[in-house]
């Protein structure tokens, strides 16, 4: 891979896989209540109620309305590494799927805070109290469970996690990982994503790839593969790496402006350049900052949720939404709980076709012509007034195993 990092950052990424779980990856201030890190969409609260744990603010239970914890037939443990709006979307979708399918299960949600000790405590809890399945929320949780619970007694299904094949957690996409793991992926194959990019900007010369250098999964499964793919096709890649996620706004202000200036050398009118935002929370949450310095360069993302009806939006996204991935993960979990499928036999779950999200107001502002076939197949569309005109997949999500 040719993705370029500052020397000290490259070293940090090189050792990250070994050290990421020796100490917490995020030194956030302690939360004081369950609501500080766990949220669900309002609609699912008609079916579910949230019960905080009296002794641990990083733990709680989600049970069907009118019932108490322990009444359900089966128990699901969902392990978080930290708070994230992406995880809020995902758990909301999982609860919605379980309710709609009538799966008789309670949930325990547990923030292990990227702590090895708390991770081990989660495993002990799940095994001692007879849980039926673990859902690892996010790439950090999945990596921890893969390193510390491979071959364990309980099945594990990943949610909101990046490509397990590129991360070495699964050997192939079209077969099960074996053992007690089933993986779903937030990633689309780069060749599929780039085929859409090439339609949107057929004369593309420059691509700036934005990534949080400390987000190992985004670097390894999104930034580096896309950079290599684009370079092999003779285009110029700008490696736009945020060194310190806590200072992302200031770093991005400088990086984006500098990159625009570099792009102008080969593309004076900025008609053959784009910015590509990876699934790095520290990066995509600063979409407003990126837009402020992007000039007329289209800002695209792998994260559909970055496209919205506000000014803080990407113009286009080609990827898998947190909602779609969580829907598929919930289906996988339901298959395992019903004993219809063995967890180790489930192939890597990749939603297909991809979720396309378009903001036509932003497209008109920067002069980007969106191909008509994008409009036909888009999952999320925001019109010229910024209002949402489509919210939902045109075709139903199918299992890649079918």
* 142: in domain: yes
Do 203 and 97 fall into the same domain? Answer: no
The residue-averaged pLDDT of 225-236 equals: 97
For residues 234-243, average pLDDT: 97
216 and 261 in a common domain: yes
Q: How confident is the model at residue 393 (pLDDT cuts 50, 70, 90)?
A: low
- Same domain for 341 and 247? no
d(CA 278, CA 298): 14
pLDDT, tens digit (0-9, with 9 covering 90-100), for 336-390: 999 988 999 999 999 989 999 999 999 999 999 999 999 999 999 999 999 999 9
Residue 122 lies in a domain: yes
Whether 149 and 216 share a structural domain? no
| Residue 285 sits in the same domain as residue 376 | yes
Instruction: Let me know if 233 is exposed, middle or buried by CB neighbors in 10 A (0-12, 13-18, 19+).
Output: exposed
- Shared domain check, 234 and 200: yes
Domain with 269 in it = 190-319+353-391
Query: Could you report the per-residue pLDDT of 97-108, keeping only the tens digit for each?
Result: 999 999 999 999
pLDDT single digits (tens) 285-340:
999 999 999 999 999 999 999 999 999 999 999 999 999 999 999 999 999 999 98
Q: How many domains does the chain have?
A: 2
d(CA 92, CA 97): 9
Residue 155 to residue 295: CA distance in whole angstroms: 48
What would the pLDDT profile of 362-372 be if each residue is shown by its tens digit?
999 999 999 99
Tens of pLDDT, residues 121-171: 999 999 999 999 999 999 999 999 999 999 999 999 999 999 999 999 999
What average pLDDT does the structure give for the chain? 89
Nearest to 71 by CA among 40, 49, 45: 49
| Residue 400 forms part of a structural domain | no
- Give the pLDDT band (50/70/90) at residue 30: low
The pLDDT value given to residue 17: 30
pTM of this structure: 0.85
Task: Return all residues near 167 (Cβ < 8 A) that are at least 6 apart.
Answer: 139, 143, 217, 220, 221
Report yes or no on 229 lying in a domain. Answer: yes
Residue 94 within any structural domain of the chain: yes
Residue 19 resides in a domain: no
Closest CA to 194 of 153, 165, 155, 228: 228
Residue 9 forms part of a structural domain: no
Report the distance separating Cα 53 and Cα 60, nearest Å: 5
**CATH number, residue 213:** 3.40.50.2300
With a CB cutoff of 8 Å and minimum separation 6, the contacts of 107 are 61, 62, 63, 75, 76, 77, 78, 95
In the chain, the N- to C-terminal Cα span, in Å, equals 33
Q: Which of helix, strand or coil describes residue 355?
A: strand
Question: Of 1-15, 62-76, 254-268, which range is least confident?
Answer: 1-15
Q: At what angle do helices 190-200 and 224-232 cross, to 10 degrees?
A: 60
Q: Phi, psi at residue 312, to the nearest 5°?
A: -90, 70
Predicted local confidence at residue 2, as pLDDT: 46
> In this structure, is residue 21 part of a structural domain?
no
- The answer on 203 and 297 residing in a single domain is yes
Asked if residue 290 and residue 176 are part of one domain, the reply reads: no
The answer on 181 and 242 residing in a single domain is no
């Amino acid at each position: 891979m040719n993705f370029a990092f500052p020397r000290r950052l490259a070293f940090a990424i090189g050792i990250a896989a070994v050290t990421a779980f020796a100490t917490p990856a995020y030194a956030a201030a302690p939360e004081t209540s369950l609501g500080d890190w766990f949220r669900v969409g309002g609609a699912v609260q008609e079916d579910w109620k949230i019960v905080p744990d009296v002794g641990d603010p990083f733990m709680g239970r989600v049970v069907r309305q009118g019932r108490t914890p322990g009444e359900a037939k089966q128990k699901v443990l969902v392990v978080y590494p930290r708070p994230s709006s992406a995880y809020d979307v995902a758990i909301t979708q999982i609860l919605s799927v379980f309710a709609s399918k009538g799966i008789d299960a309670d949930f325990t949600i547990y923030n292990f805070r990227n702590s090895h000790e708390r991770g081990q405590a989660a495993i002990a809890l799940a095994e001692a109290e007879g849980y039926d399945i673990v859902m690892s929320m996010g790439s950090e949780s999945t990596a921890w469970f893969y390193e510390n619970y491979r071959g364990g007694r309980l099945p594990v299904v990943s949610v909101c996690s990046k490509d397990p094949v590129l991360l070495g957690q699964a050997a192939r996409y079209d077969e099960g990982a074996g053992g007690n793991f089933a993986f779903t992926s937030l990633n689309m194959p780069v060749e599929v994503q780039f085929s859409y990019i090439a339609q949107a900007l057929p004369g593309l010369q420059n691509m700036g790839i934005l990534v949080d250098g400390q987000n190992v999964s985004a670097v390894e499964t999104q930034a580096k593969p896309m950079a290599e793919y684009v370079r092999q096709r003779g285009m110029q890649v700008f490696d736009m790496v945020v060194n310190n996620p806590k200072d992302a706004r200031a770093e991005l202000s400088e990086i984006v402006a500098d990159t625009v200036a570099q792009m102008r050398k080969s593309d004076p009118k900025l008609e053959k350049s784009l910015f590509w935002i990876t699934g790095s929370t520290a990066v995509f949450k600063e979409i407003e900052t990126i837009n402020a310095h992007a000039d007329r360069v289209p800002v695209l993302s792998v994260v559909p949720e970055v496209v919205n009806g506000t000014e803080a939006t990407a113009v286009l996204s080609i990827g898998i939404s947190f909602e779609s991935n969580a829907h598929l993960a919930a289906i996988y979990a339901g298959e395992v709980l019903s004993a219809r499928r063995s967890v180790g036999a489930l192939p890597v779950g990749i939603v297909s076709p991809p979720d396309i999200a378009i903001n036509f107001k932003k497209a008109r502002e920067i002069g980007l012509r969106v191909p008509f076939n994008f409009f036909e197949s888009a999952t999320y569309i925001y019109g010229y007034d910024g209002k949402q005109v489509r919210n939902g997949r045109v075709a139903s999500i199918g299992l890649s195993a079918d």
